[in-house]
Every structure is written in C-alpha cells, then in structure tokens.
A and B are shown apart, each in its own frame.
Chain A
Amino acid sequence: SYELTQPLSVSVALGQTARITCGGNNIGSKNVHWYQQKPGQAPVLVIYRDSNRPSGIPERFSGSNSGNTATLTISRAQAGDEADYYCQVWDSSTWVFGGGTKLTVL
C-alpha cells in the first residue's frame, strides 16, 4: 500500500514562511491534496490537485509537487494558521493520508 510521510512538527516565526513536506514514492505522478485541521474541528481543504486553492482560502497558501516530495507553503504565517496539516492522495481505489504535521507559529 502507498505511504505518505510528513514531519511530526514544523515551527515558523510570525510573518515568516512555513513549508510542510509530504514524501511518497514518485508522488510527483499523483495529485496531492492538503487539509488544515484545528483542534476540535473537522478538516478543511486548503489545496487540491497539487497547487489549486478552493474559494475562500488565502493566497498565502500554495502547493507544489515533484519527484518524491510535495510541499505545502504558507507565506506570512499568522497565529490563526496554527493547526495540523494532512496531505492526501488517491491510490488504487483507496484514499491515503499522511500522518499529519503540527504547525506552530512562534
């Protein structure tokens, strides 16, 4: 089965750029999606198909995908961006999530 690897935690200073990675075998050949989840809340889609933002998601959120790594980039990080972030792909009629990354804004 396909596996996605994320760092457990990432820290970023207020106003700086955070990058959260998602590793997988030849993940660049797949569509990668990203979700934000705040404590006690349901996940929210922030990036779909590698680099597309749903309506209502700030332009500060962007994504890229190449080779064995996909990356979610959050520019000008705000306190409200502090959350868990999950990457996800579709593989052989199953939907696979990464283990999640806790983003801390310092």
Chain B
Amino acid sequence: EVQLVESGGGLVQPGGSLRLSCAASGFTVSSNYMSWVRQAPGKGLEWVSVIYSGGSTYYADSVKGRFTISRDNSKNTLYLQMNSLRAEDTAVYYCARLRGSSHFDYWGQGTLVTVSS
C-alpha cells in the first residue's frame, strides 16, 4: 500500500527556515517523480516543486531561490528545505507522487507551516 507521511511543519518567524520531510512506503521515491504542493488557508492548490527520478529539480517562481527539494534514497524520504520564509508561505504542504509528468496519484495528509512573528 502506498503511503506518504509528512512531518516538520510548525510556527516559524519571517526570514526563518524549516525543513519538511515526507516518508514514503509501498514504492521507491527515487524511481518516481515526487512533488510538493501547498494550500494557503482557505485557498486553492499551488504546485511548489518537483524532483524527477533522474534528479532534475524545478520550482515555482514564488519559491525559486528560497526552497530546495531533495531526497534520501536510503531512507526513501523526500525533503523540502525552506529558507527566507515569508508570511505568504503559510500553508499546508502536501507531498505527492507524480505519474510521469502528468498527474498526482498519491498525496500525503499534509503538514502545516505558519510563518508569523
């Protein structure tokens, strides 16, 4: 059974950093395209970042230069390092598996990041 479990969210001050983790089971992270999608309170879904099975990474313009996606193959875990956080980064962050470059077929339950002083 495919499972994705995020962790690492919390309250952080503007300008601070946070690292999110997504532990996967039931499949191999490194053999798949993996992504982060976020949802601000009361708002819609926004794609954040992707890492391809070959290791290439891409980012939404809103986080480029501040966020870094990575994975640990030995732990079968996906990460999102978030630096220089802003109030507008406040959201529930979901990790999701991509089917090729197409659609998100499995999602985690999400972890809430709140950026506030």
Interface residues of A (CB under 8 A from B): 31, 33, 35, 37, 41-45, 48-49, 54, 86, 88, 90, 93-100
Contact = CB atoms under 8 A, between A and B. Distances in A.
Nearest to B99: A48
23 contacts: A31-B103, A33-B102, A37-B45, A42-B94, A42-B108, A42-B110, A43-B94, A44-B107, A45-B105, A49-B102, A86-B44, A86-B45, A94-B47, A94-B60, A95-B35, A95-B47, A95-B50, A95-B98, A96-B47, A97-B45, A97-B47, A98-B44, A99-B44
Contacts of A96: 47
Interface of B: 35, 37, 44-47, 50, 58, 60, 94, 98-99, 101-105, 107-110
A43 B47 contact: no
Contacts of A95: 35, 37, 47, 50, 98, 104
Nearest to B92: A42
A41 B109 CA distance: 7
A33 B110 CA distance: 20
A26 B46 CA distance: 21
The interface residues of chain B, by DSSP majority, are classed as strand
A91 B57 CA distance: 15
Contacts of B37: 95
Given A94-B60, A95-B35, A100 B99 contact: no
B101 A90 contact: yes
B31 to A, nearest CB: 19
A97 to B, nearest CB: 4
Nearest to A97: B45
Nearest to B44: A100
A100 B45 CA distance: 8
Contacts of B102: 31, 33, 48-49, 90
Q: Which 8 A-B pairs have the closest CB atoms?
A: A33-B103, A95-B47, A42-B107, A100-B44, A97-B45, A48-B103, A99-B44, A93-B58
B44 A43 contact: no
